[in-house]
């Protein structure tokens, strides 16, 4: 049977759309969004003040574990809801982090110049445009990692945009993003370190997103039906040849890779269910 051209076009279009993330369904509720604890679901590496390679920095915009030896964050954790959103313009005020202990090397924006890698945000600027102070905090260099340009501007950005669509649809999110391994491929090829060896280029960037309808008492509202999005994306230019959905994984797999304990504040039985899941809600 010969199909008319317009029928073939419709079938092909439908098939392609099924491979891409669709617009999130709008959640209707009467609860006003709030700014909640950036570490409400747990401190995955038990970061604190005693270990320079797992050093906790907590500020209103996000919390992070910094690695002095690698000169990048191990992870950054933040809460996201409409309460954090606004119309503050992107600051672009990349600068050393004044909260690092005395004597530590403080990464400068010029350390990335001509490196072949972008100054890649872990907590995005657009997630913190509700106030000038919060937006400015995302440009502290402890929140920045060497990221392959296409990775940063295409596949990683696409997931960032999708998470904000989830918020616009009536959800709040708990997000944690981080790095693992050594050696990425930027515009100049494969590199393990930049800035005369001061800054490690990660091999992988990963992200975990916990999705909840806007509400209160968030941990108590987690259930076996809670949506979990987890990705692990190689830090190379060619990673952008695929959509972020091609890199879906489970929290458990990211735990195996990093050695961290995610969702540590969640009851253990529920934690096991959520951590084993690979998202299929696209």
Which residues are the active-site residues? 121
CA 196, 75, 149, 236 dihedral sign is positive
- Among residues 28, 34, 138, which one has the least CA distance to residue 80? 34
At 248 the three-state DSSP class reads strand
CA distance 269 to 273: 7
H or E stretch at 146: strand 144-147
CA distance 44 to 176: 9
Residue in the structure block whose two tokens are 């392959």: 148
CA distance 132 to 124: 14
CA distance 181 to 172: 30
Question: Which two tokens mark 196?
Answer: 């005369």
CB-based contact 235:148 (threshold 8 Å):
yes
């Amino acid at each position: 049977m010969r199909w008319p051209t317009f029928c073939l076009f419709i079938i092909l279009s439908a098939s392609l759309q099924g491979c891409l993330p669709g617009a999130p369904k709008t959640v209707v509720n009467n609860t006003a969004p709030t700014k909640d604890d950036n570490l409400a679901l747990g401190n995955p590496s038990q970061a604190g003040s005693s270990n320079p390679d797992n050093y906790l920095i907590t500020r209103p915009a996000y919390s992070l574990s910094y690695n002095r030896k690698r000169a990048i964050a191990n992870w950054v954790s933040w809460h996201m809801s409409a309460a954090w959103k606004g119309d503050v313009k992107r600051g672009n005020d990349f600068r050393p982090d004044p909260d690092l202990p005395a004597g530590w090397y403080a990464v400068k924006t010029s350390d990335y110049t001509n490196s072949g890698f972008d100054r890649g945000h872990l907590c995005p600027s657009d997630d913190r445009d509700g106030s000038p102070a919060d937006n400015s905090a995302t440009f502290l260099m402890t929140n920045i990692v060497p990221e392959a340009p296409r990775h940063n501007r295409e596949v990683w950005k696409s997931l960032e945009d999708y998470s904000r669509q989830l918020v616009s649809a009536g959800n709040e999110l708990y997000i944690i993003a981080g790095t693992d391994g050594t050696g990425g491929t930027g515009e100049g090829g494969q590199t393990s370190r930049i800035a005369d060896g001061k800054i490690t280029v990660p091999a992988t960037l990963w992200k975990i997103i916990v999705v909840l309808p806007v509400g209160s008492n968030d941990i108590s509202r987690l259930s076996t039906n809670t949506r979990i999005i987890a990705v692990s994306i190689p830090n190379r230019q060619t990673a952008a040849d695929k959509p972020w959905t091609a890199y879906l994984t489970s929290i458990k797999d990211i735990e195996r890779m990093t050695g961290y304990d995610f969702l540590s504040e969640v009851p253990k039985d529920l934690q096991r269910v959520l951590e084993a899941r690979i998202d299929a809600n696209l």
